[in-house]
Structure 1
Amino acid sequence: MTSFGREPGHALLGPYQEGTVLGLTSPERANALLLGIIEAASSGPHVEPLAAAVARLITDATATDVCFVHVLDDTDRSLTLAGATPPFDQYVGEIQLPIGSGVAGWVASHREPAVIVERKEEDPRYMPIPALRGTDYTSMASVPMESGPSGLVGVLNVHTVRRRQFTDRDLQLLGVIGRLVAGALHQARMHRKLEARERAHERFAEQVIGAQEAERRRLAGDIHDGISQRLVTLSYHLDAAGHSITAEPELAVEQLALARDLVNLTLDEARAAIGGLRPPVLDDLGLAGGLASLARSVPHFEIELELDDDRLPEHVEIALYRIAQECLQNITKHARATLARVRFRVHRGTAWLEVIDDGVGFDVQPAPSVDPHSPGYGMQSMAERAELVGGRLRVISRRGSGTTIIATVPLPATDADPEDA
């Protein structure tokens, strides 16, 4: 217990002072709190059970009425209520605060404690959340949960019904608790991210296999219904020409002309089938040439091009080409646009692809659409293509203001922008 800077036999952070909200009146309570935190941290690798246990321990140890444990989400841009004492535990996972919003968001942004003794509605940092019934509580204290190795993990809030004057010792105690649980919560967050990534990889593997099988069926159908049937018809024309070449030369010439037309048409279909597997233009002209060729194949709206000539690894060029192809197909089907811009550049070791249109736009949903007629339906496959090559996809759109799709892929050092050398 000496690691907390006190001598044996003294209470954690000093004796409880009259009029102080928090405090541990004996070494026994300090030991009980530490043992409770250790037990909670070792109970399992999940964020919510750990946060719930911490909330209960804090209210018991500090004589406060309610505790909220807000934990950074996986984007590190907002806080999610991960643990709370009853009756507010029913809102775990449902309350979110952007960093900088509300008292907890302010604490996360500034990395320093905040105290409101009374009239919290008059504090500019306070943001009422009806579900948490802030008006039922007079005083509150909020401290960041952080440690050296893990950095900021979340924020602890405690509230009291009666007016309380939080002291420096009170905040020190909450800070110590926050540091004690920060490491365990950080590990739980990493475990959650790993589980989510594994689930995403499993879903993606299933989708890739499904897409491969669907593509094989499509190609088999194209070959059977198109190329194979035309070759059969071609053989009939050649047979007819062979039988009539001496007796009816004019008929033979007619049959050979029809055969020639079928040969040309079959060649076109074969090239289209090959292009569906691997666009040959990428081999000859690279991504810039492929995007230019792709733009020429879209007659429904004007397309402006800003394309660098940089060559990329083959798998990156294919991924970005397919993303651009899906974007232009979505614009054609859904956007009712008159103008689109396709930009490709390599800057500071990253490949950038932007497809922008002036169409009707749509409301970006947090989850991918399951409606194949929705403009958001192809977003998941595009995002997964980008992630498969180590990149990411960003979608910016709202109704009436067009859509911007940005794909970024970090490149190996040998493929980085020469300006960075």
Structure 2
Amino acid sequence: MTGARPLELLAERGPDLLVRIVAAACSARELPRMADELAGLVVRSARALTFCDVYVLAEDERVLEWAGPPVPLGEGDVGLVAAHGRTRRHPDGRGAAVPVHSEGKVIAVVDVRSAGAPPPEDLELVHALAGLFAPVLCSCRRLRTAREREHSAERFAERAVQAQEAERSRLSREIHDGIAQRLASLGFHLSAAERAMPEHHPEGLAQIMIARRLCELAAAETRAAIGGLRPPVLDDLGLSAALATLAREAGDGPGPSGPLDVTVTVEGELEDALPDHVQTALYRIAQEAVGNCLRHARATCVDLLLEHSDDRVRLQVRDDGIGFPVREVLGPGGRGRRPDSYGLRGMRERAELLGGRVAVTSRPAAGTTVEAVIPIPGRRRGGVSPS
């Protein structure tokens, strides 16, 4: 078969054949559907062929995949063609299995049949089409591999976040059942001791009252720690309500510069768009950022914005605090002397685990902005949903 002959055959079968192949190549379909599409092109383009299947070699190169059960390499006409790379006529003479080569290796087999012996020009056409199918199928295989890796990374991130939250829940239960109960018991006994102390021992009464107030403070901090480890509102009402609760609690707790005014803006219905583990990660980033505002920033106002597009979600926490030199604290050679530097790095690690990023911008006396951008699993910018 000369180099010109395949082109002549393709031209003879209609000017739109190449157009249909190019359209199929650009459709970004999943591999099984692409194989079916190409098989249909073969039958529609041939004169006498009535049946076609396209078998694609799996990544492990042990079996051929198609609409039916996998075909082991070296078994049957199709498996033998994949193993040896040569066209094989069917024993009944009514078709053939044709290899599809790419870079010297078989990547697929086109299996065709007809009611009788297929005319030679039909088999020549199949060989010509097999050469055109090679880059299309290679592209599909690469796309599938990329998607599988993406899904694997998403599953890993989900499991990692779930493991972190499970550990937080365990610690929350242990603190509740252990330290919190002991503090409650201690408070009860201190109250009893205060009532039993004779009135003519004012110094003893004063010490008991101080101890009781310290116990109440420790109990309140313990309850706050339990709620911070695993806030029930996140499970019960979702991310938007959890952020509103976080803002309210931050406003109730006096910071170094007085009450903190936290404004929350949520754009769009997020709960339906975001998987649970992404909501959890965003909440943790917001929690750490607002906590830094309370503990270190000497801020009076915080604006918290949460918005999402088709393929990503953005969280921004901006305060009017004292700011800090970002490069010195978080840069490659940063000394990390600020108490919140570990928390800032932790936010970055949470976002990066989900394929996102956290950017921190700040200047001394000019406030701080923390912005996290996280992709929504299963949606990628510029991607085409399989059809």
TM-score after normalising by structure 2: 0.42
Structure ranking higher on relative contact order (CA contacts 8 Å, 6+ apart) = 2
